[in-house]
Amino acid sequence: MIRPLPSLGLLDRVFRVLFPGVLLLLLSGCASVSYYSQLASGQLQLLRAREPVSSVIADPQRSEQLRAHLAQSQKARTFASQQLHLPDNQSYRLYADIGRPFVVWNVFTTPEFSLTPQNHCFPIAGCVAYRGYYSQSGARGEAALQRLKGMDVSIGGVEAYSTLGWFNDPIISSMMGWGDERLATLIFHELAHQRFYVKNDTEFNESFATFVEQEGTRQWRALRGLPPDDGAQSQHRDQFIQLVLDTRTRLEKLYALPLPSDQMRQRKAAEFERLRREYRQLRDSQWAGDKRYDAWINAPMNNARLLPFGLYDQWVPAFSALFRQTGGDWVRFYAQVEKLGALPVGERKVVLKALAGS
């Protein structure tokens, strides 16, 4: 049963009532007030920009390309609830034109000689390794302040995010440059976060959602009579991620050494050059001219740029094994995932390692 969409006015009033209480609980200074205020303002603007996808599709004044893209997205959205047993609500049955390429910009920060992120904790999402800003200028300002402190900093634009079911999340205009299948995979991924989420365990949450995205996409292709993905792009992505993870491992060993700062900086720079060299060798020898990662690899490098890698797929093999154990039954699978999520984090990782090796 689809829940009716509350009016935006009601949602706005609820948002305004709740947010001051959150501020009182969390804030300790003017900088914090400013930061959380822009979060509230940005989220509220996004909520106000929403309109039903059905209205956009029916509007002849809208772009034909936009209407066709949204029409295909709704087929995937229905499939997500009916076949993948993901939440059946108004999320991704709404559209929001935000007029910018990214909905938020995330700022990642680490010490100069450490890969330990500067974590930030929130009442809904728990602790995450970044700070999000609804304006690029706000993100750049935070990054500049952190660089003045001698920190390594990276800014990453984000096309979409999930409020974990607290609000009905829209398809955002920043997502519309993707093809139909890529948009479908995003819907599967974000609805998986709504289906189940564990506070303070990013690797678990993102690996779970990534598995649902991948298996859901496989089933979505099969339903439409399309051949399985040949896996070339996925293989390239996995190989690239492994290069980055290998670099992280070497840097962690380097930072544990008692070296003078100047020597540490030289060896750190050498590791990044090694990453670039190994990437080019792999690209030129195995990828048949695929240069999709060239822009990333050629940009200035630091610890913070390496943080997101590995978070999204570390436990995907474990969830794949669990799915097989439950006979490919989504309802049974989710029940087992919930049991895993209820375990203390140490026990959870032991079970996930065992599953990944099975």
The model's pLDDT over 47-104, given as tens digits with 9 standing for 90+, comes to 999 999 999 999 999 999 999 999 999 999 999 999 999 999 999 999 999 999 999 9
Q: Are residues 137 and 244 in the same domain?
A: no
**Domain limit, last residue, from 195, 223, 251:** 223
| CB-count exposure of residue 300 (10 Å: 0-12, 13-18, 19+) | exposed
Q: Is residue 237 part of a domain?
A: yes
SS (H, E, C) the chain: CCCCCCCHHHHHHHHHHHHHHHHHHHCCCHHHHHHHHHHHHHHHHHHHCEEEHHHHHHCCCCCHHHHHHHHHHHHHHHHHHHCCCCCCCCCCCEEECCCCCCCEEEEEEECCCCCCCCCEEECCCEEECCEEECCHHHHHHHHHHHHHCCCEEEEEEECCCCCCCCCCCCEEHHHCCCCHHHHHHHHHHHHHHHHCCCCCCHHHHHHHHHHHHHHHHHHHHHHCCCCCCCCHHHHHHHHHHHHHHHHHHHHHHHHCCCCCHHHHHHHHHHHHHHHHHHHHHHHHHHCCCCCCCHHHHHCCCCHHHHCCCCCCCCCHHHHHHHHHHCCCCHHHHHHHHHHHHHCCHHHHHHHHHHHHCC
Question: Which residue would you say has higher pLDDT here, 190 or 10?
Answer: 190
Nearest to 191 by CA among 83, 51, 104, 81: 81
Q: Are residues 143 and 43 in the same domain?
A: yes
Q: Are residues 143 and 246 in the same domain?
A: no
Is a pLDDT exceeding 50 seen at residue 158? yes
Confidence band, pLDDT 50/70/90 cuts, at residue 123: low
Q: Is residue 117 part of a domain?
A: yes
Q: Are residues 180 and 284 in the same domain?
A: no
Q: Which residue reads 């080019």 in tokens? A: 280
Residue 349: which domain range?
Answer: 316-356
Q: Is residue 139 part of a domain?
A: yes
First-to-final CA distance of the chain: 38
Is a pLDDT exceeding 90 seen at residue 22? no
**Domain limit, last residue, from 187, 202, 223:** 223
Q: Which residue reads 């959205």 in tokens? A: 77
Q: Is residue 340 part of a domain?
A: yes
pLDDT, averaged across the chain = 89
Q: Are residues 352 and 296 in the same domain?
A: no
Q: Is residue 311 part of a domain?
A: no
Mean pLDDT value across residues 149-160: 94
Torsional class of 31: left (φ above 0), alpha (ψ -120 to 50), beta (otherwise): alpha
Q: According to the model, what pLDDT value does residue 128 have?
A: 80
**Domain limit, last residue, from 223, 255, 275:** 223
Domain count, the chain: 3
Pairing of strands 104-110, 120-122: unpaired
Q: Are residues 219 and 254 in the same domain?
A: no
Confidence band, pLDDT 50/70/90 cuts, at residue 31: low
Q: Is residue 283 part of a domain?
A: yes
Question: Which residue would you say has higher pLDDT here, 129 or 269?
Answer: 269
Mean pLDDT value across residues 18-37: 56
Mean pLDDT value across residues 212-222: 96
Q: Is residue 1 part of a domain?
A: no
Which range, 8-12, 63-67, 162-166, has the best average confidence (pLDDT)? Answer: 63-67
Q: Cα separation of 87 and 81, whole Å? A: 6
pLDDT in tens, 242-275: 999 999 999 999 999 999 999 999 999 999 999 9
Q: Are residues 16 and 65 in the same domain?
A: yes
Q: According to the model, what pLDDT value does residue 5 have?
A: 42
Is a pLDDT exceeding 70 seen at residue 13? no
User: What percent of the chain is predicted at pLDDT more than 70?
Assistant: 91
Q: According to the model, what pLDDT value does residue 275 have?
A: 98
Question: Which residue would you say has higher pLDDT here, 120 or 56?
Answer: 56
Q: Are residues 102 and 136 in the same domain?
A: yes
Mean pLDDT value across residues 306-323: 89
Q: Are residues 114 and 168 in the same domain?
A: yes
HSE-up (13 A, CA, CB side) for residue 28: 1
Q: Are residues 250 and 102 in the same domain?
A: no
Mean pLDDT value across residues 8-22: 43
Q: Is residue 3 part of a domain?
A: no
Partner residues linked to 172 by β-bridges: 96
Q: Are residues 240 and 185 in the same domain?
A: no
Q: Are residues 180 and 97 in the same domain?
A: yes
